[in-house]
Amino acid sequence: MTNHVLRIDTSARHEGSVSRELTDKVLAKLAAKDVTVRDLSTPLPLIDSTWIGANFTPADTRSDDQKSTLALSDTLIAELNAADTIVIGLPVYNFGVPSTFKAWIDLVARAGVTFRYTENGPEGLLTGKRAILAVASGGTEVGSDYDFASTYARHILGFIGITDVTIVSADRLMVDPEASHKAADEQIAALAA
């Protein structure tokens, strides 16, 4: 059984959201009792020059304003650090990830905090965690040449150290919804708790 799960919902929709439905099923399969929920349907702020200035100021010399600017980012990173498993409901919007997910990534991918640069290239610092992407799409086939959502999510998670990534998908829902749901249910049933 999974100890602590961070659930991240990225769909703008609540009612009728297939990614949220898949995420519910993944959590049921994991029998997760301790779950932190981060719902990105209320968008996060975008990073700006003030945020970048605070981020690149050494932690021990940051002003109170700079610390305040980074407070949300620190909270989001603390949620990641506390989780053993991260379950992300990820709809495909126009071949890519929802803008709210990209905003979350920008707030958690911080040099020296969640990754670092070494002479051998970047090294992710959030190791020993598992991620499950619950992907839903109307027409984009997950893993295809034009799927920039799951491939980006897998890459960026690996960049910050989360390399154990499983994808469950209900893709091409507008083509064959019954087969898409059936395939996703089979993938979820095969997940290790």
99 marked as binding residue: no
Q: How far apart are CA 86 and CA 65, in angstroms?
A: 30
Question: Are 152 and 10 within 8 A, CB to CB?
Answer: no
11 marked as binding residue? yes
Q: Please state the φ and ψ torsions of residue 61, each to the nearest 5 degrees.
A: -120, 10
The whole-angstrom separation of Cα 119 and Cα 40 is 35
Ligand-binding site membership of 19 (annotated):
yes
User: How large is the greatest C-alpha to C-alpha distance in the chain, in angstroms?
Assistant: 56
Long-range pairs, 116-125, Cβ under 8 A, ≥24: 122/159, 123/161, 124/158, 124/159, 124/160, 124/161, 124/162, 124/163, 125/160, 125/161
Would you list which residues are annotated within the binding site for FMN? 11, 17-19
Would you list which residues are annotated within the binding site? 11, 17-19
